[in-house]
Amino acid sequence: MAVYAWRGVNAAGKGVKGVRDADSPKQLRALLKKDGVLVTELLESSEAAKKRGREIDLKRMFNRVGTREIAVSTQQLAVLLRSGIPLVEALTALIDQLDQPELKAAFTDTRDKVNEGISFADALRNHPKYFEDLYVNMVAAGEASGTLEAVLQRLSEFLDAQAKLKSKVQSALAYPLFMAFASTIIIGVMMTVVVPKVTSIFQDFNQSLPWYTELLIWSSDVISGYWWLIFMLIGGGIWYFRRWRATEEGRKKWDRFELKIPLFGQLFLMVAVARFARTLSTLLTSGVPVLRAMEITRNVLGNTELMRVVDEARNSVREGEGLAKPLRASKRFPPIVTHMIAIGEKSGQLEEMLEHVALAYDQQVEVRVAAMTSLLEPLIIVVMGGVSGGIAFSILMPLLQINEFVG
């Protein structure tokens, strides 16, 4: 049974579309005809995905499948399984109420493979865009231990926590970034439109201008005459930086530098520690073996320097040593974190200690982001006011001198 994306016209003459599974295109056309839909376009899910990749769909841009949507779907599936509904029927019920065509197609394909006898985890593995390695391995552990519904519930809580933290950081930084962008646009307009018109007055007077006015005129001429070159240089710089960072050596150097950036470096470390602790805790609680759990956790950190530290810790665990000692020796993880991990290992409550670490660092990230945004907003205002004031001063002073000369 295949999954198809279709478009058509209903009995009222309105355009409709959707995703549905059928044995063949002919069968799907017959099923939709019974529902009063005349099919105008029919593509198998793989072909539909390729076509969507070539098209610009504004509705799809604002209806993307994110972590929160996957978390909600996972929680709904856990509730259905906890109610005693078999997996295939639970997936069918979930598919019927999904709105996102891409996610619906992924779950439909997963259900069909499960119905054919493939394990749920292996079926999910065919859709890495929505179900990452962490998700698949937790599901596999849940299937092996017979606690799939509990694992799915824990996984939905994990994904929801990750989505909330990301949303809070983005929301907190949105206003300062908007102010910085607006300030840049305003100053750019002043330098390219306002300043040339006002400073043209100085050409009618044979009088020397202050150095700061000369600098303002020169800057305005450069921005007005070579704005295209400036954009090209900025674009080229960004392209070169991304290409350099894509190399192994470039990424290593940048990730090490990232952790040393004043103010932001500590924030990046806090986010990584919270992600490390919550991911490892969730995997261990779900029954994933510790070495496999550390390998998955390593891949979600997003920083090669911290990934190297986790690799060394994983090798130590493989040799029979504890987790806390190599993390402490790296001096990358805060002492309080390694201390709590050591206590958890000794007491046999490592999962609980890691969860406490994750909660604590989530709160610290929120506090740090709030403090940084409270500083960034007035800083942007001061910088913008200083630049605007400098422009006004550079224009007004020569005008006052000219007025005195004429007087």
Same domain, 215 and 267: yes
Please tell me whether residues 103 and 126 are part of one structural domain: yes
CATH code assigned at 211 = 1.20.81.30
> Which one is predicted more confidently, 10 or 140?
140
Across the chain, mean pLDDT equals 81
Q: What is the pLDDT of residue 406?
A: 56
Q: Which of 137, 161, 185 marks a domain boundary?
A: 161
Quote the domain boundaries for residue 30: 2-61
- Identify whether residues 178 and 320 lie together within a single domain: yes
Is the same domain home to 234 and 142? no
Q: Are residues 36 and 77 in the same domain?
A: no
- The band of 207, judged by pLDDT with boundaries at 50, 70 and 90, is low
**At 106, is the pLDDT very low, low, confident or very high (cuts 50, 70, 90)?**
confident
Is residue 1 very low, low, confident or very high in pLDDT (cuts 50, 70, 90)?
Answer: low
Contacts 24+ apart (CB under 8 A), 299-304: 299/133, 300/132, 300/134, 300/275, 300/276, 301/272, 301/275, 301/276, 302/272, 303/255, 303/258, 303/259, 303/268, 303/272, 304/251, 304/252, 304/255
Shared domain check, 174 and 232: yes
Pair (34, 145) in one structural domain: no
Q: With a cut of 60, say whether residue 327 has pLDDT above it.
A: yes
Q: Are residues 118 and 55 in the same domain?
A: no
Residue where one domain finishes, among candidates 133, 161, 189: 161
Query: Please, are residues 70 and 103 in contact by the beta-carbon 8 Å criterion?
Result: yes
Q: 45 and 120: one domain?
A: no
Domain match, 97 and 193 both: no
Residues 39 and 124 in one domain: no
Q: What is the mean pLDDT of residues 101-112?
A: 86
The total number of structural domains that make up the chain: 3
Query: Stretch 356-370: mean pLDDT, rounded?
Result: 85
| 232 has pLDDT over 70 | yes
37 and 89 inside one domain: no
pLDDT tens by residue, 38-83: 777 777 655 544 454 444 444 444 446 678 888 888 899 989 988 8
Tens-place pLDDT, residues 77-104: 989 988 888 888 998 888 888 877 888 8
Domain limit, last residue, from 161, 183, 211: 161
CA–centroid distance for 166 within its chain: 7
What lies within 8 Å, CB to CB, of 282 at 6+ separation is 134, 138, 154, 155, 158
